Amino acid sequence: MFEWVNQYFKGDILDNSPSHIATFLALVLVGILFKGVLAPLVIRVFSKILMRKTETNLITSFVLYTKNHLSRLLVFLFIYVAFNQLRFPKSWNLAPSKEFGLQMILHKCYRVFLVILGTILVLRVISFWGNYFQEKAKYTESKIDDHLTPFFKEITKVLAIILILFFTLSYVLDFNVTTLVAGLGIGGLAVALAGKETLENLFASFTIFLDKPFITGDLVQVGGILGRVEKVGFRTTRIRTVERSLITLPNKMMIDQPLDNWNERHVWRSRFDIEITYQTPIINLQEIKSHIHHYLQKHSKTDENSHVFFSEFGTNAVKMTIFFFAITNDFFEYMSIKDEINFKIYEIVKQNGGEFALPTRVVKIESDDMTHILNHPKQ
């Protein structure tokens, strides 16, 4: 590359000619100087090939997101090519790069580190596009894409790592991948047993995505946990509870336990008792019962299966049992409907001369000794 340098500088340095040393220094210098220029340029050219010209903001975001990682990769690539221009002195009697020795170790270390930087860049690119499609999914009517996008982002990363691993073993470290895979068959049982729970959770994640018992954003109750699903991963599902804490559950638990998807409820059933004092005239009780039933039947957010019953003679009050079904699949809307109905029931009872019973206890003392003590307290 710089053969003309040999005309001005005579003599080798550690068996390397001046032109080889000049090439080495030039490549290192170019890699460092153009670190901040080449990376954005390469990304912009690549982006404009794949994207429309109008998506300038997306291209700019992509450049900013991946620039530093591509810069490191390009600098190391220049340094790797630069060091390939140099030769070890013959007097060191080092084994060739194809035989085990210092040259082979350095050569393979260079390659492995290059693959590591490339892998980080690939994962960065996948994360960018995964986040981009996740953000777009928020503005669609369907919730299925909110559910699937994070999963496909993660599975793409896993597949990319597996492919890069096989590439590294085969072309960088010169392993026979076919022999390696056959060897894994022998120890596969031990590996499977060691990672039994991980495999079970992995298969459970596929079951969740195929059967779709819930999707991201659904309010679910599994076991004693009630919360909204934030993310379904390969091994675990993250649930934000109504107390706003974040709970991570194994996917196997999500399919092995009874799961109540509250978002799939078309109606919410409510049943409760009210207690009215015995002093309330019977005609008033009938009016209260009739008015509550009429109100529930006419309410825009309850269905026709609403009922009011004089259900029981209590110890200190008459009990009325109220049933209604709120037409909604949202828990918090149901609570608002119930709140409105409860206020109206309270108003109906009061307007019709009813009184709500309070917890009372009657204590009757018949002992003469006790009466004497009560009449003559201790001084």
pLDDT digits (tens, 9 = 90+) for 66-89: 777 777 777 777 777 777 776 766
Architecture per CATH, domain 196-263, reads as Roll (2.30)
Query: Is residue 125's pLDDT more than 80?
Result: yes
Whole-Å CA distances, 224 to 221, 227, 228, 378 = 7, 10, 13, 55
Task: Write the pLDDT tens digit of every residue in 205-244.
Answer: 777 777 778 888 888 888 888 888 888 877 888 899 878 8
Question: What is the residue-averaged pLDDT of the chain?
Answer: 76
Is residue 21 within 8 Å of residue 37, measured between CB atoms? no
Indicate the pTM of the whole model. 0.48
Q: What is the pLDDT of residue 348?
A: 93
- List phi, psi (to 5°) of 290: -65, -45
Nearest-angstrom CA–CA distance, 354 and 310: 14
Question: How distant, in Å, are the alpha carbons of 29, 59, 232, 273 from that of 53?
Answer: 33, 9, 35, 66
Mean pLDDT on 353-360: 82
Question: What does the pLDDT read at residue 379?
Answer: 45
CATH architecture label of 266-351:
2-Layer Sandwich (3.30)
| Angle at which helices 144-167 and 196-211 cross, to 10° | 140
Q: What is the pLDDT of residue 282?
A: 92
pLDDT at 8 exceeding the cut of 70: no
Mean pLDDT confidence for 306-310 = 92
Q: What is the distance between the alpha carbons of residues 334 and 262, in angstroms, rounded to a whole number?
A: 11
C-alpha dihedral over 298, 299, 305, 311, to 10 degrees?
-90
| pLDDT confidence tier of residue 347, bands split at 50, 70 and 90 | very high
Q: Which residue has the higher pLDDT, 199 or 186?
A: 199
Instruction: Tell me which range, 43-52, 159-168, 186-195, 301-310, is most confidently predicted by mean pLDDT.
Output: 301-310
Domain boundaries, the chain: 5-175, 196-263, 266-351
Beta strands in 173-234 (DSSP E): 219-222, 225-232
* pLDDT computed for residue 60 by the predictor: 67
**pLDDT over 70 (residue 358):** yes
C-alpha span between 312 and 319 (Å, rounded) = 5
